[in-house]
A and B are shown apart, each in its own frame.
Chain A
Amino acid sequence: METKSYDLIVIGAGPAGLTAALYAGRARLKAAIVDENLPGGWMKTTHLVANYPGVFPEIHGRDLAKRMEDQARHFGADFYTAAEISALELQGAVKRVVLDDEVGLEAKVVILAMGQEPRKLGIPGETKFKGRGLSYCATCDGDFYQDKDVVVIGGGNSAVEESVFLTQFAKSVTLIHQFDKFQCSAIAEEHARGHAKIRMYLCHEPREYIGQDRLEGVAVQDLNTGEKKIIAADGVFVYIGFTPRTEFLKGQVGLDARGYIQADDLMHTNLSGVLAAGDARVKVYRQISTAVSDGTIAALEAEKILREVK
């Protein structure tokens, strides 16, 4: 297997990783950036970004992602995208990453910036109905439900905003949320509450996806009365938050109980030469701006570590 040597390997090409690669390139470090998907991370799926300072008027998430990617490429980062990590060694002085069992990368410093992915509910029928009525992406699949009945599960911004988005196609949208209040912004809630096509079941929890060859409904339970009922649906969209993409780090890097990477203010993890940045880190606020900040600090620390070991 071919092995390529770098000063720094950045895992994850969202805003944190792209910023780290940019800073590394400008410090004349030889940097590789790898991602299982294409560059841009979760930022890319955000329709409009209106709160990233200096970029005004608002910009499509995918356009901001492209700008960050272009900037990192311009300063010399090597991109390995749509590439899956098949082996990872972070313990020694030289860190090794194998991609698709085909390409080996090594470096003295690694920055972990894999971000998060949508959380799954973990109820019966999830695997069976994925792609057969069960979806995690309203812009991808919403148009399929023209004049049909859909259910949205969740109560945060994504769930409530996507419910309103889906009303342009669906005959009805039923929003199911486990708590008695939504966790979304006041504006999003106003839009949903005033909408004739949207009905809401608060204090209800989904128990099972129901159907033969394709999804036909969701069994839900009223948390106040214990009563169970089936809500008929042609499609179900799930927006119940995120989970970090850190499964492959277990046993190597210190994680908290929810799987987020434990790192200090300078982004150092429990392993020497291994830094963390962005949404995969234990932190309170997950924004593009905070991811960019983490990526900056991690790259500057990487530069410092490399100076010391040379």
Chain B
Amino acid sequence: MNRFWAVFKKELKDSSRDRRSILASLAFSFFGPVLMAIAFGVIAQKQTETEELKLAVIGIEHAPDLIQFIERHGIEPFAFDEDAKAAIKQRKIEVVLEIEPDFLDDFSKSVPAQVKLLADYSIEKSARAARRVKAVISRYNEEIGSLRLMVRGINPAITRPVKLESNDFSTPQGRSALILGGLQIFILMAAFVGSTGVAIDTTAGERERHSLEPLLVHPVSSVSILAGKWLTTSLYGMLAVVLTMLVTTAVFPFVPLKSLGVDLNLGLSMQLSIVALAIPLALFAAAVQMLTSLYAKSFKEAQSYLSIMIMIPMLPVMAMQLLSLKSATWMYLVPVLGQQQLLTDVMRGDGLEPLKYLLASGMTSLLALATVVFLTRLLRTERVVYGG
């Protein structure tokens, strides 16, 4: 036990003095959430601001009232007298409204007054503009129609047998899933990325610096050595998760989450739950990365392996979202996937269900422990100490 502490203290001292590599590994925890917040801020802004639309009108002078109505609805009409079709095809303008000269005549006689909407529906932008203009004109129709009925003493409501209220849930929820999924990926990855450098340094690095052989010629069990290294490495993973949490909490108030349809309140209890569920994951990430590094023939090889391994935390999140998988109990038993499930529960506001937490954390910790036990068998083999 004393020797375990001695190893732990030494590893912690040694790794904490490697400022550069610590900063490099924690940079991810810092910049990840910041970049994500900026990205989503931009999306939110794009979504909330209405696109400005200029409407070319042929015969603008024939329907001043309609033009005013259109203007009031955020579209800018302007006079136009060129070839409408060519201008649209060349994408100079999106849409053209043509008002017939006898518009006012027909209008005052309550005969349908004709306007023509010219657009190219194969051009996405033109089609969108046309839909907007159409919607404004049909609202104008309704308004004038209602007025005409009222003048004649009829309740305009009778012309609307069905009242349709349409609510579109698809986009905000999709975005919400995207944002929460992104946050999940950053938290899960932090547990891995935070400890990558130390995991390599303390295993493959120790061999490459030729300090493994001198260490192993001391009367200290492989268990003490690896437990000390493992604990140190795990701490960096945990630190990265805490940092990710703190930075996220700091930057998220600046993201207009509401307008993106995200209902996430990163309160203290949610933060603590997330850190609690990530601790076993950090233990697991440290053990697996140490195993990979110890198997690698060199420091560089270890780095290549681990840079691929960093993809692992992304897989469950992507699989759940892309394949629209339904949550199932067995998922809690798979490391990383289990934590992803817990994260989803926590972010939904359900908190950590004790049984599920124990299931996921127990299994993940157990597998981490098994990996470390396997490492203790490996440590004093000639292949590990002397390579080859």
A and B interact physically: no
Using a CB–CB cutoff of 8 Å, the interface residues on chain A facing chain B are: none
